Amino acid sequence: MSILFVDNDAKKRRQVSATCPSVDVIAVSDALAQRTVALPPTLTRKRGQTVRVRYRAGINPRTFAQIRQWLKETPPPHTILFDWGRTITQLQGVRVAPQTRRSALAALCGGTRRLASLRRGFRHLKAAGARLGLLTNNRSCTVPAFRALAADILGTPNPLIVCSTDHKGEALRKHGLCDVRS
């Protein structure tokens, strides 16, 4: 099995590379261009409901092109794990309440156009035979509403979701996903 981890955070990518050398890693943009938005009431942060969105951060068409190239260069089966905050979404540290609706997904992902682009990209990766999932330290990752949002955006009913506290490499090891290259 070939595993790829996609994240905006250099520290987390280094953790994964050091702990699980067989897992490939792709960096995504963490651009600083920002705008301020109000969150829907079912999405919360410690510091209130207004957040600065890094609207150029996260997965973009160039990222999907890199992933497609990785799929061509590595043996199947393929598992691709994405970080949640500022990789799939354009926000960091947002908690998902149990009553969160899928309509909040567009707000998390930077708008309806970007959400549609992400869904299209994930659909193509699935069509190429990749298993999609999350590797995240978002504290909401065990909440059913979070899992429903992840399933919705990734386009898979039961995505693999690996919850970590701070060390993503150790979380992969704990789930038996290190040293699995075929």
Number of domains in the chain: 1
Mean pLDDT of the chain: 82
Count the Cβ atoms, other than its own, within 10 Å of residue 93.
14
Does 182 map to a domain?
Answer: no
Which domain CATH number covers 126?
3.40.50
Does 167 map to a domain?
Answer: yes
Q: Domain containing 163: what range?
A: 2-174
pLDDT mean over 79-98? 79
Does 179 map to a domain?
Answer: no
Please, what is the end-to-end C-alpha distance for the chain in angstroms?
5
The predicted pLDDT at position 43 comes to 55
Residue among 10, 23, 1, 62 nearest 171 (CA): 23
Does 146 map to a domain?
Answer: yes
Residue with more model confidence, 56 or 134: 134
- DSSP assignment letter at 157: S
Does 137 map to a domain?
Answer: yes
Does 13 map to a domain?
Answer: yes
Structure tokens at 48: 């209130």
Span 138-181, pLDDT tens digits: 888 888 888 988 999 999 999 999 999 889 999 999 999 987 65
Does 180 map to a domain?
Answer: no
Q: Phi, psi at residue 50, to the nearest 5°?
A: -105, 130
The predicted pLDDT at position 79 comes to 97
Does 24 map to a domain?
Answer: yes
What percent of the chain shows pLDDT beyond 90?
A: 49
Model confidence, pTM: 0.85
Radius of gyration of the chain (CA): 15
Structure tokens at 111: 């708008």
